[in-house]
Amino acid sequence: MSAGEIIAVLDAGPLIHLDELGSLRLLSGYREVLLPDIVEREAREHRPGIQINSIPGLVRVSSNPVAAESLFDLVAEFGLHAGELAAIAVLKEHHGDCLLSDDAAARAMAEAIGFQVRGTVGLILRGWQRKQISKVAARDLLKALPLKSTLHLRPGFLANVLEQINDRTD
């Protein structure tokens, strides 16, 4: 499945972190980017000025507690909160393909029920691989994560990620 055919659903993490980096454009290239209302509320609580309308292919969707009810057993096992539950429920209800989340529990649950999952780091590198940004720009964004965003990464781990992309050609 090519990127342009993928329907992605946003959780608050990548939305907030990419906005903190001024890089919401990296969400482009999906067929649709679905944004559950409860996730938008969470994002706006953290980032009142967030430029959500600039996201290409954005489709706002209402969260449906009834659709989420069938997931309650899994929710108890994985320990999700309302925004993440809403995102996964939207993924199922709207036949989405990919959850965009930085939350470890939400990612684990979405993968367990068969969905692709990508987070902020993956989206930055996807932008480089799709030639939306240069390798240098991707590296700069990764380095800026601990400084400008609320996505916390251990310095040693970030160095390891940067090393992984060092040998790759632009």
Joined together, the tokens standing for residue 35 give 């944004």
Closest approach of other proteins to the CB of residue 51, in Å? 24
The residue among 3 and 58 lying less far from other proteins, judged by its C-beta, is 3
In the complex, the residues that contact other proteins under the rule CB under 8 A are: 3, 65-66, 68-69, 75-76, 78-82, 85, 102-105, 107-108, 117-119, 121-122, 125-126, 128-130, 153-154, 157, 160-161, 164-165, 168
- Kindly tell me which of 59 and 82 has the beta carbon lying closer to other proteins: 82
3-state secondary structure of 141: helix
User: Mapping DSSP to helix (H, G, I), strand (E, B) and coil, where does residue 94 land?
Assistant: coil
Please state the closest distance from residue 81 (CB atom) to other proteins, in A: 5
CB of 42 to other proteins, least distance (A): 12
What does residue 131 show for φ and ψ, rounded to 5 degrees?
Answer: 65, 25
Measuring CA to CA, which residue among 34, 19, 168, 12 is closest to residue 102?
A: 12
- What are the beta bridge partners of residue 7? 32
Nearer to other proteins, 148 or 168 (CB): 168
Amino acid at 102: D
Task: Rank residues 76 and 147 by Cβ distance to other proteins and give the closer one.
Answer: 76
Of 52 and 82, nearer to other proteins (C-beta) is 82
Least distance to other proteins, CB of residue 9, Å: 16
Q: Is 99 helix (H, G, I), strand (E, B) or coil?
A: strand
Closest CA to 9 of 71, 55, 77, 74: 55
Q: Which residue has the tokens 């390798």?
A: 135
CB atoms within 10 A of CB 48: 7
Q: How far is the CB of 105 from other proteins (least distance, A)?
A: 4
